[in-house]
Structure 1
């Protein structure tokens, strides 16, 4: 059964039991955003929460919302239609082959990805849930290489992940010519252990990483709606 969530400025997000969104998606969508007219790419878009959050915040450039699961992508299609949005294009497809060749390469100014988090451990018997949580169809390297192909030189890419994968993520970004520029840790409250990090990288730029202040959930960083 579908549900409806309303963002700060009235944009509707449609969800379903196997296509919801969490705090991490809200934090990612707010940590860095495309400028108003920039061409944007939302990788692992799910129900479209990040694309719709950008729209709610004022983004009006063309945006591709790429999602492997057809049911989740269909929710994004429905949400775009019901909100009367004409600049978000939901695409059901695999980021491992997206922008693999041709004119799509280097066309985007900004990209983001809320990827699967787990590389090991028990997996759900439901293949959709397993793909959403485990790196079965989407590794860190897959994500970084897709962003590299899609972004123009100087384009920005933002990603969230668990802290135990920080080294892997930074190495994968650099290997894809995506230089990490901003990094922030997410904590429930000051002094608690970080449970997430957010990183922004830029394609083809020189080294220089800025550590940002911690993002605290108890301060309201993930709240939304009227």
Structure 2
């Protein structure tokens, strides 16, 4: 790993199991457990030897965590220049410039640099909240774009993913369970058939607060599998053994 060049207000956050450190500025945006779990959940074809695109990559956490378990190239697409620059520096920090690139672009314009139908896998940790007249949005621009569907909404995201992917390519996303009906309807309408769903619970006795979704472009309808749940915390507010293994255990392997 190379030397970190941190600027004022920045810090390093790491994922020990993957040996990856990410440059972040908490005043802009910081990744959380959903990014880690999405990268862990993503199970691409051919052990990830093809091209992967991480849409709305932020500081690059999802794509960089994922890059360490695959063989192919990864493109991190981020609309915000400050975050894209941090992602580029984190890529260099982790000595992944040979396989990971950063594209500073609105994801709707990514086809200027990534050929439609050329991508094997698409990852996305999108903004969770739709914008309505009654929506109370975060005043900070970085958080607003990351959390609310300001720059792109779910239908437009699904359309971009479909256009990027080869037939039978895979789309992986983390979202909120309360949007699950929207997710199924939106993905199906755009040729992305949901195949695997995994719910994440803060604690075992609470409702799920995250859902991980895998869909296949031009996949056969039906046959959705619900995977065993992930529970994040014990009653003592410590990480469960399952999550500790994801964060601090052996490097991830693909099926």
TM range (shorter): over 0.9
Pair 1:6 & 2:14 matched? yes
Aligned pairs for 1:109-128 (under 5 A) are 109-119=120-130, 120=132, 121-128=135-142
- C-alpha deviation, 1:11, in angstroms: 1.9
Moved over 4 A (4+): 220-223
1:177 to 191, 201, 205: 191
Q: Deviations over 1:63-89 (max 9, x none)?
A: 110011111110110011122211101
In structure 2, runs of 5+ residues without a counterpart are 1-8, 234-239, 250-255
Query: In 1, distance between residues paired with 2:88 and 2:169?
Result: 26
Query: Does 2:59 match 1:44?
Result: no
- TM-score, structure 1 length as denominator? 0.93
Conserved? CA contact 1:6–1:225, under 8 Å: no
Equivalent residue runs for 1:53-202 within 5 Å: 53-56=65-68, 58-85=69-96, 86-99=98-111, 104-119=115-130, 120=132, 121-202=135-216
Instruction: For 1:128 and 1:103, locate their aligned partners in 2 and report how far apart those are by CA, in whole Å.
Output: 25
Secondary structure at the residue paired with 2:39?
helix
Cα distance in 2 for residues equivalent to 1:220 and 1:199: 23
Distance 1:158 1:139 in 2: 16
In 2, Cα distance between equivalents of 1:138 and 1:103: 18
Residues 19/216 of structure 1: CA separation in 2 closer, same or farther (3 Å cut)? same
After TM superposition, give the deviation of residue 225 of structure 1 in Å.
4.4
Give, in angstroms, the shift of residue 19 of structure 1. 2.9
- Alignment gaps of 5+ in structure 1: none
Change (3 A) 1:222 1:14: farther
Q: Distance in 2 between matches of 1:166 and 1:67?
A: 25
Map of 2:225 onto structure 1:
210
- Return the offset for 1:122: 0.7
CA RMSD of aligned residues (A): 1.7
Equivalent pairs counted in the alignment come to 224
Give yes or no for contact 2:29–2:142 (8 Å, CA) kept in 1. no
